[in-house]
Amino acid sequence: MHRALSSAIWLVLAAGWSHAQTGSFPAALLPHAIESNDGGIELPVSMSPGLQLPGSFTFGGIDDQTAGLALADFSGEVNQPTSIAQVSESQVVSTGLTPAPNASRFQGKFSRNPRQFDVGTNLYDAPEFKGGLIVFGEDVAMKIGGYVKADFIYDFNPIDSTDSFVTTDIPVGAPARTNTRFHARQTRLSFDTRWASDAHPVRMFVEGDFFGDNNSYRLRHAYGEVGSLLVGQTWTTFTDVASFPATLDFEGSVSSVNRRQALIRWTQPVLNENWTMAIAAENPQFDVVPPPGITGDSRTPSPDLVARLRLSEEWGQYQIACLYRLGGFQPTDERVITGSAWGINLTGATLLTDKSKFYHQIVFGDGIGSYRGLPDAAPETATTDKVLGFTGWMVGITWDWNDRLSSNLTYAENALDNSLLQAASDERQTTYLAVNAIWNPVARVKVGIEYLYGLLETVDRKKGDAHRIQSALIFDLP
**Residue ranges per structural domain of the chain:** 2-100, 136-476
pLDDT, one tens digit per residue, over 323-340 is: 999 999 999 999 999 999
Is the dihedral angle over the CA atoms 252, 255, 256, 261 positive or is it negative? positive
Give residue 445's pLDDT band: very low, low, confident or very high (50, 70, 90). very high
The yes-or-no verdict on residue 287 having pLDDT over 90 is yes
pLDDT at residue 50 is higher than 60? no
Three-state DSSP state, 355 = coil
* Pair 101, 73: CB distance under 8 Å: no
CB of 406 within 8 A of CB of 399? Answer: yes
Whole-number pLDDT of residue 206:
97
Q: Which fold has domain 136-476?
A: Porin (2.40.160)
**pLDDT surpasses 50 at 48:** no
User: What Rg do the C-alpha atoms of the chain give, in angstroms?
Assistant: 26
Cα–Cα dist 331/260, whole Å? 29
Which of 218, 229, 239, 294 has the alpha carbon at shortest distance from 265? 229
Per DSSP (E only), the strands in 156-291 are 179-183, 188-195, 202-209, 218-226, 229-235, 260-270, 272-282
pLDDT digits (tens, 9 = 90+) for 178-224: 999 999 999 999 999 999 877 788 999 999 999 999 999 999 999 99
pLDDT for position 183: 98
Structure confidence at residue 116 (pLDDT): 58
Largest CA distance in the chain: 87
Kindly report which listed range (134-138, 309-313, 338-342, 343-347) carries the lowest average pLDDT score: 134-138
pLDDT digits (tens, 9 = 90+) for 412-442: 999 999 999 999 999 999 999 999 999 999 9
Average pLDDT estimate for 334-354: 95
Q: Would you state the pLDDT for residue 215? A: 94
With a cut of 60, say whether residue 9 has pLDDT above it.
no
Looking at the DSSP bridge assignments, the partners of residue 269 are 276
The confidence score (pLDDT) of residue 72 equals 31
CB-CB neighbours of 381 under 10 Å: 11
pLDDT band at 478 (very low <50, low <70, confident <90, very high): confident
Which pLDDT value is given to residue 200? Answer: 81
- Exposed / middle / buried, residue 322 (Cβ in 10 Å: 0-12, 13-18, 19+): middle
- Asked whether 265 and 303 are in contact (CB, 8 A), the reply is no
Q: State what percent of residues in the chain have pLDDT above 90.
A: 68
Burial class (CB in 10 A: 0-12, 13-18, 19+), 68: middle
Taking only the tens place, the pLDDT of each residue in 161-170 is: 999 999 999 9
Q: How many angstroms separate the CA atoms of 200 and 109, rounded?
A: 9
The strand pairing partners of 475, in sequence order, are 148, 445
**Average pLDDT of every residue of the chain:** 82
pLDDT value at 404 more than 90: yes
Residue 112 confidence class, pLDDT cut points 50, 70, 90:
low
pTM above 0.75, yes or no: yes
| 68: CB partners within 8 A, 6+ apart | 62, 88, 89, 90, 91
Query: Are 304 and 367 spatial neighbours (Cβ–Cβ below 8 Å)?
Result: no
pLDDT, residue 130, reads 83
Q: Give the list of residues 6+ apart from residue 30 with CB closer than 8 angstroms, or none.
A: 41
**pLDDT level of residue 115 (50, 70, 90 thresholds):** low
pLDDT at position 131: 81
